[in-house]
Chain A
Amino acid sequence: MSSQNIVIVKYNAGNVRSMYEAVLRLGINAQITDDPELIFKADKVIFPGVGEAKSAMTYLKERELDKVLKSLTQPFLGVCLGQQLMCSHSEEGDVECLGIFDAQVRKFQSKGASFKIPQMGWNNIYDLKGELYNDVNENSYVYFVHSYYVEIVNETIAKCDYIHPFSASLHKANFYSCQFHPEKSAGVGNQILDNFLKITL
């Protein structure tokens, strides 16, 4: 596994460093790049991100990375904003996204002191499905920071409740995603990243 060529997509949304370190702790020295050639050739692609949807989509489109990412066939993992950008549309900046998942990204509506926006902290995930969640217990805690969420759809493979249920994770063909940060979710997060690195299509 350590010979895998893992690429972390570099774009105008931070947090690339944390993902790099997390993958390194699992024994893989990933490449951080926005070069389409290197992305196409990778064994697996990680698409992290903390930032704002509209400016991120503008950045990706200017470099035609939107077309590159959609056309990939190797295992692909979007994280946080990465997951949201993989959906069809986001309310954040009212922007069309990559459309890999037929799902909408909506803003949480505040419910006062008990439900602050952003959701920031550790929450439990449930209804876990598929190889991304091998050896991960139902109701494990993972770390979230987000003001927008993906609705529950057919591709949902993990759910979380904040104000209402939403998609903690999605999967379709070679595309996987997490709303939470596996790279910041202690042992559970390590397991999920390790599971992704072990996926063979």
Chain B
Amino acid sequence: MLTKRIIPCLDIKDGRTVKGVNFVDLRDAGDPVALAVSYVEQGADELVFLDITATVENRKTFSELVSRIAGAINIPFTVGGGISSVADADILLSAGADKVSINSAAVRRPELINELVDNFGSQFVVVAIDTKKHDDGWKVYVKGGREETPLYTIPWAQEVQSRGAGEILLTSMDHDGTKGGFALDITGELSRNLSIPVIASGGAGNIEHFIDVFKLAQADAALAASIFHFGEVPIPQLKSELAEHGISIR
């Protein structure tokens, strides 16, 4: 049986791991390669590396880091941050990334999704959606959550799917960094209405939150950062408790 995936996310700045709490107040949580290897040993199913500074100067540092990661781990990993063209993605693919995650660039120019899919296949393309609840529905934000767009999350996710993306990484900005649980409503709505996998992100604080996002919101995978980096929720314990609750886990 296909299992639910547990995905630690490593935010990278200048080659080091950081994690934003509500996207500010960065804390250092170590060397990305060492952390990645440790997550593989703990039983993480996949990893995500986001280059949060993603400037032109940092690009080379990041692709070198991607090469080192590819040499060190034997589980799939996604990289993201500032990817806005087929050429950007190609550099990261050649460095050994299994998937790329795109966000602001896809909103700015949705054809980028099709171009990446045509060049590298659906399995390579993850579209990240940062979202926030408004009175009239969930809306899409870009630029690390700093800028509101006119897009609503549900139709945008459907467009992303119809353009061929292989997966959606949904982050609720209202929940991110709060440790109060995932956004079950929007995650569930997307998961039930899309035919591609949905990764839930933002708000994980304890094991119950993971049980809820898999059982109540039918997420295909759940992503978290600081609670893993600082050992607040050890992955082996998380997985054994999920299994006890009848959730299919590796």
Contact = CB atoms under 8 A, between A and B. Distances in A.
B224 to A, nearest CB: 17
Interface in B94-144: 94-96, 98, 120-124
A114 B218 CA distance: 8
A143 B5 CA distance: 11
Interface in A1-34: 14-15, 17-18, 21-22, 24-25
A145 interface: yes
B183 interface: no
B191 interface: yes
A146 B122 CA distance: 10
Interface in A46-69: 50-52
Interface stretch (B8-16, B20-28, B69-77, B230-238): B69-77
A15 B77 CA distance: 12
A189 interface: yes
A122 B45 contact: yes
A124 B221 contact: no
Nearest to B220: A116
B164 to A, nearest CB: 11
Select the residue from A14, A25, A185 with max chain B CB neighbours within 10 A. A14
A110 B196 CA distance: 10
24 contacts: A14-B124, A15-B98, A17-B95, A17-B96, A18-B70, A18-B96, A21-B70, A25-B71, A25-B74, A50-B120, A51-B121, A120-B123, A121-B4, A122-B2, A122-B5, A122-B45, A124-B1, A143-B76, A145-B123, A183-B74, A184-B74, A184-B75, A184-B98, A189-B74
B3 interface: yes
Contact of A121 (B2, B70, B95, B191): B2
Nearest to B191: A113
**Chain A interface secondary structure, helix, strand, loop or mixed?**
mixed
Nearest to B96: A17
B167 A120 contact: yes
Interface in A137-158: 141, 143-147
Nearest to B192: A113
Interface of A: 14-15, 17-18, 21-22, 24-25, 50-52, 110, 112-114, 116-124, 141, 143-147, 161-162, 181, 183-186, 189-190
A181 B218 CA distance: 25
A186 B121 contact: no
Interface of B: 1-5, 40, 45, 70-71, 74-76, 93-96, 98, 120-124, 166-167, 191-192, 194-197, 218, 220-221, 250
Contacts of A190: 74
B57 to A, nearest CB: 24
A143 B1 CA distance: 12
Contacts of B120: 14, 50-51
Contacts of B76: 143, 145, 181, 184
Nearest to B99: A145
A120 B3 CA distance: 9
Contacts of A183: 74
Contacts of A24: 71
Nearest to A52: B121
Nearest to A145: B123
A123 B45 CA distance: 11
B98 A18 contact: yes
Given A18-B96, A21-B96, A186-B74, A118 B166 contact: yes
Given A122-B2, A122-B45, A162-B2, A143 B195 contact: no
Contacts of B196: 116-118
B246 to A, nearest CB: 14
A104 to B, nearest CB: 21
A141 B3 contact: yes
Contact of B1 (A18, A113, A123): A123
